[in-house]
Amino acid sequence: GENVEQHPSTLSVQEGDSAVIKCTYSDSASNYFPWYKQELGKRPQLIIDIRSNVGEKKDQRIAVTLNKTAKHFSLHITETQPEDSAVYFCAAGTQGGSEKLVFGKGTKLTVNP
């Protein structure tokens, strides 16, 4: 089955710096890669996703890149702000299969003011 590895497990940056979180997946059939943000005590919420027919997607300060050949994808947050502090989860899913997502173990991002 699919296996998703996520790194780093913790990341601390200064406000205004960029943050990058990387994930690798094992199943070459995976074609849907969402990122979820979970603030302390709250539910995970989708912040951006990418499908395998594109290599990059951007939404304001957040971007995701996908390298299908290498089977890895990354989340990039620019101009970080304290409210970006949260746990971020990557996931991989497959169209036409069971449609379930396999999640990485999460990255705790701390943005220091």
Which tokens sit at 80? Answer: 């970080």
51 binds other proteins (CB under 8 A): yes
Q: Which of 44, 74, 80, 86 binds other proteins (CB under 8 A)?
A: 44
Name which position in 7, 20, 27, 32 contacts other proteins (CB under 8 A). Answer: 32
Q: How far is CA 57 from CA 28, 43, 86, in A?
A: 20, 24, 21
Residue number with CB closer to other proteins (2 or 78):
2
Note if the bond before 8 is cis, omega within 30 degrees: yes
CB of 93 to other proteins, least distance (A): 4
- The answer for residues whose C-beta is within 8 angstroms of residue 44's C-beta and 6 or more apart is 36, 37, 38, 89
Residue 45 is a binding residue for other proteins (CB under 8 A): yes
Indicate which single residue of 37, 73, 86, 93 sits in contact with other proteins (rule: CB under 8 A): 93
